[in-house]
Amino acid sequence: MRERLVVIGGDAAGMSAASQARRLKDPDELEIVAFERGHHASYSACGIPYWVAGDVDDPEQLVARTPEEHRARHIDLRTRTEVTEIDVAGGRVRSRRLPDGQEVWTGFDKLVVATGARPVRPPLPGIDAPGVHGVQTLDDGQALLDTLRGTKGRQAVVVGAGYIGVEMAEALLRRDYEVTLLNRAPEPMTTLDPDMGRLVHEAVTGLGIRMVNEAEVTEIRTDEQGRARAVVTSDAEYPADVVVLGIGVRPESELAEAAGLPVGDFGGILTDQAMRVRGQSAIWAGGDCVEVLDLVAGRQRHIPLGTHANKQGQVIGTNVGGGYATFPGVVGTAVSKVCDLEIARTGLLEAEAREAGFQFVTATVEATSRAGYFPGAASMTVKMLAERRTGRLLGTQIVGREGAGKRVDVAAVALTAGMTVEQMTALDLGYAPPFSPVWDPVLVAARKATQAVRAHGAG
């Protein structure tokens, strides 16, 4: 009998799941209906800062597969259609077509919830004024570009100095805006320890971005036409012709929660390793709307990243299509950049390691990306955390110029394999002067961390 798979959410997780299920099951075995609230499907939100910066001219380049291409593959993708209710017991979802408000119920044999995340928008005066922009979707990116094109003033304020805020600050700087970056924490990039965040602070300031830490935004001040004109903090007021918000996201899980599906402490849907919603036999969830297992801390967390969403979607599609796949968890790897400064982390920060109950040592080294004599050798700082008793690697952070960021992948593999920092020092990494010094910066850090473990009496 032909079954029907319903997918809610038409981006990374949802359409990866739908596409993989379609690869495994023919249309006469499995009908696939996908609902997407927006105009686009399978788009790369990750590319928005580079589109705004001008590296990418056309938003179509950020679309991996258009709605028409999905439909040609026998996926009935219904854009501009929002799912408003999941009836778990009845095996059906209610959807509303946004252009005309028409509502229908659609039955399912299998359901995938891939509703993503919702940007945090604190209820401040002026937060919804024209000129204030989020950057979550391609429509958001287009609205921001329209504002930039229609504004003569050159003052931009970015609220939030996580990776999205920092990437957007660069994008606006490259469009010749005077950029102020407001940050609530003591240093930018709270995905790093403050001593590593300090390096980002210095680099960002060196680029000409005004970086203000410990800034608590209280209001977006508007003019007589209601347009944003300034961002007010508890200490100061920053003139703004455009305001960009990058203050984090929360799982978009209300629909699932209202249907009685389980959510965790961070508000993300809870699944097993096959990405099946806990307690359900025919409902899966993946992407920014779920919590993941942090394999280092051994806890559930919410880590909204496209890299996870795509992999989880693939796992879901395989299981829905009759195969077997699992997503065992993550080690917390992320990489980003601001101009030529590369910023990367994997595993736990000091505060996270402490919270997870680890006793640990740290080691920080300065090293170069190539042999010191080789043209273009650039400096980087590598910080490593290792468990004090066992020497097991707990985390690595890297801040530096070209060639720094993706070095974190070596540490991510070591974390996944449960290696000690001493074992890492013997890793057979490639070497030639244009690529690294004889001792790669990651190995130099591992060696120093090994010394710190020994000094603290491992074993």
Ligand X SMILES: Cc1cc2nc3c(=O)[nH]c(=O)nc-3n(C[C@H](O)[C@H](O)[C@H](O)COP(=O)(O)OP(=O)(O)OC[C@H]3O[C@@H](n4cnc5c(N)ncnc54)[C@H](O)[C@@H]3O)c2cc1C
Q: For ligand X, which residue of 5, 6, 8, 228 counts as binding (CB under 6 A)? A: 8
Of the ranges 35-43, 151-159, 408-416, 423-431, which one interacts with ligand X (CB under 6 A)? 35-43
User: What's the min distance (Å) between Cβ of 321 and ligand X?
Assistant: 18
Q: For ligand X, which residue of 12, 200, 245, 338 counts as binding (CB under 6 A)? A: 12
Q: Which of 321, 325, 345 is nearest to 411 (CA)?
A: 345
Residue 201 Cβ, how far from ligand X at the closest point, in Å?
21
Give CA–CA dist 182/159, Å, rounded.
Answer: 5
Q: What is the rounded CA–CA span in Å between residue 275 and residue 277?
A: 6
Residue range at the interface with ligand X (CB under 6 A); choices 112-120, 181-189, 190-198, 427-435:
112-120
Among 17, 19, 35, 414, contact with ligand X (rule: CB under 6 A) = 35
Q: How far apart are CA 398 and CA 384, in angstroms?
A: 9
Q: Name residues contacting ligand X, limited to 147-186 (CB under 6 A).
A: 164
Select 136 or 396, whichever has its Cβ closest to ligand X.
136
Compare residues 164 and 361 and give the one whose CB is closer to ligand X. 164
User: What phi and psi values does residue 27 have, to the nearest 5 degrees?
Assistant: -60, -30
∠ Cα 230 234 238 (to 5°)? 25
E strand or H helix that includes residue 426: none
Task: Please report whether residue 113 would count as binding ligand X according to CB under 6 A.
Answer: no
Residue 277 binds to ligand X (criterion: CB under 6 A): no
Stretch that binds ligand X, among 32-40, 271-279, 352-360, 387-395 (CB under 6 A): 32-40
Residue 444 binds to ligand X (criterion: CB under 6 A): no
CB 228 within 8 A of CB 153: no
**108 belongs to the binding site for ligand X (CB under 6 A):** no
Interface with ligand X, residue 136, by CB under 6 A: yes
Residue 11 in contact with ligand X, rule: CB under 6 A: yes
Q: How far is the CB of 320 from ligand X (least distance, A)?
A: 16
Strand locations in 186-279 (E): 210-212, 217-222, 228-233, 237-239, 242-245, 249-251
Q: How far apart are CA 116 and CA 171, in angstroms?
A: 24
Q: Are 18 and 5 in contact (CB under 8 A)?
A: yes
- Kindly state the greatest CA–CA separation across the chain: 70
* Residue 46 within binding range of ligand X, rule CB under 6 A: yes
Q: Which of 5, 135, 232, 449 binds ligand X (CB under 6 A)?
A: 135
Among 18, 83, 157, 421, the residue binding ligand X under the rule CB under 6 A is 83
Q: Is residue 305 a contact point for ligand X (CB under 6 A)?
A: yes
Q: How far apart are CA 117 and CA 6, in angstroms?
A: 19
Is 48 among the residues that bind ligand X (CB under 6 A)? yes
- AA letter at 257: E
Q: Coil, strand, or helix at residue 383? A: strand
Q: What is the CB-side half-sphere exposure of residue 250 using CA atoms within 13 A?
A: 10
Q: Pick the catalytic residue: 46, 64, 148, 185?
A: 46
State the Cα–Cα distance between residues 148 and 40, nearest whole angstrom: 22
Query: Site mask, ligand X, residues 49-78, x = CB under 6 A?
Result: x-----------------------------
Q: Among 42-50, 123-131, 365-373, 395-403, which window interacts with ligand X (CB under 6 A)?
A: 42-50
- Helix residue ranges per DSSP H, 11-66: 12-24, 48-53
- Rounded CA-CA distance 407/37 in Å is 38
**Element of type H or E holding 127:** none
- Is 289 known to be catalytic? no
Which residues lie near ligand X (CB under 6 A)? 8-14, 35-38, 45-46, 48-49, 82-83, 114-117, 135-136, 164, 252, 255, 287-288, 304-307, 309
Catalytic residues: 46
